[in-house]
Amino acid sequence: MILLGVVAYAYDNSRDGLIAHGVSVGGVDVGGLRESAARARLEKRLTPKLDRPVRVAVAGRRYELTSKAASLRVDVSGMVDEAVGRSRTGGIPGRVWRGITGSDVHADLPARVSFSQVAVRRFVYRVKHAVDRPARDASVRFQTAALPAVPSAKGLKVSRARLLALVTTALSLPAGRTVRARVKVAKPKITTNKLAKKYPVVVTVDRAGFRLRLFKRLHLAQTYKIAVGQAGLETPAGLYHVQDKTVNPSWHVPESAWAGDLAGRVIPPGPDNPIKARWLGIYNGAGIHGTADIGSLGTAASHGCIRMAIPDVEKLYDQVPLRSPVFIQ
C-alpha cells in the first residue's frame, strides 16, 4: 500500500506544471501542454485577438477604443498559472486517475487582462457625449418670402453604466470585439407635420418689397401688392398676431400731429373714411386695411398701416383667422 502511494506521488509530481486535457483559456486549447508551451501558444493565438480594438456601434455610428488607448495588458503568465492550478484540483488520487485514464477537466478559463479604468470611462463619456441629444420640436423660421421649417428630431440617450459594462467586458473577450449599444429614444412633442397644423395661416409683410404674402400650412398661397408706412411713421417690424377683425370699419383717428383737426375723432364708414372694406388690427393701432388710393400701392405712403387693394383685402380677410401670426420685416 505504501509502495502504491509512493508511486502515485512520484507520478503526480512528474506531471507538475502539466495542464490537464480539456483545459482552454479564452477559447485556446492548452490541454496537455507544459507551462512554457502553453505560454507560447497563448501569446501566438490569444494575445493578438485581445490586442484588437473594441468597437462600439450605436445610433448608426462607430467608435473605436484601441488597446493602446486603453493601456491594455494581457496577463499570459497569470492565465497559464490559472490553467495549471485548475489542472491540479481534486487531490492526488483524482489527478492520478485522470492522468492514467486520459480524462478531461473540461474547463474554459477566461482571458486575463488589465487596462486603465480612467481611459475606458473617458472613452465611454466621449461616445455618450457624441450620441446623446434632446428631442427637438419642429419650429419655423419667420421670413417674408418663405417659411422654412426646422425639422423635428428624435432625442437619443445612451446609458453610461450599461455602455461602460459592455466595453469593459469586451476588452477581455478575444471574440465579439464589437459592442452594439442600445439607445433610449425620446419623441418630440411637435413633429414637422404637426408644425404645419400649428401654423395653418401666416401673413408676412415685406416692407422693402411692398409685398404681403399669405401662407397656408407654411406654403405660399398668395402674394399681394401693398403700401406701407412713410418715413417717420414706419410700419412696425416684428412678429405680431391678428388682434381684431372688422368689416367696413370705422376709423378711430389717433391722437397724432399728422391727424390735424381729425385727431381723436371716429370717422364712420363712407367716402371720408380712408380705411376701406376690411380691417385686421395687429399692433397699437396699426393694421391691414383696404384703400381707394390704388396709386399708393408699391410705395411708403401710409401712416403706419398696411394698405391693400379692396378686392385683395376682402379675399385676405376671409382666409386669416384671429390670432394668426403676422411677420413684418
pLDDT value of residue 257:
80
CA distance 290 to 317: 10
**Is the predicted pLDDT of residue 4 greater than 60, yes or no?**
no
pLDDT of residue 100: 52
- Return the SS3 of 224: strand
| pLDDT for position 266 | 87
pLDDT (0 to 100) of residue 98: 54
- The pLDDT assigned to 190 comes to 95
Domain boundaries, the chain: 2-49+75-111, 199-328
SS3 for 190?
Answer: coil
CA-CA distance, 289 to 304, in Å (whole number)?
11
185-243 per-position pLDDT tens digit: 999 999 988 999 999 999 999 999 999 999 999 999 999 999 999 999 999 999 999 99
Q: Residue 260: what pLDDT? A: 82
Burial class (CB in 10 A: 0-12, 13-18, 19+), 244: exposed
> 256 versus 181: which is more confidently predicted?
181
The percent of residues in the chain predicted with pLDDT above 90, rounded, is 78
Please tell me the predicted confidence (pLDDT) of residue 114. Answer: 97
pLDDT of residue 93: 55
Whole-angstrom Cα Rg for the chain = 41
- Is the pLDDT confidence value at 153 over 60? yes
Superfamily of domain 199-328 in the CATH hierarchy: L,D-transpeptidase catalytic domain-like (2.40.440.10)
Alpha-carbon distance 103 to 95, whole Å?
A: 9
pLDDT classification of 159: cutoffs 50, 70, 90: very high
What mean pLDDT comes out for the span 261-268? 85
Q: Mean pLDDT for the chain?
A: 91
Q: Give me 55's grid cell.
A: 468597437
Grid cell listed for 262: 381729425
pTM above 0.85, yes or no: no
Torsion, Cα 233 208 324 149, to 10 degrees, reads -150
Percent of the chain residues topping a pLDDT of 70: 90
Dist CA 280 CA 156 (whole Å): 44
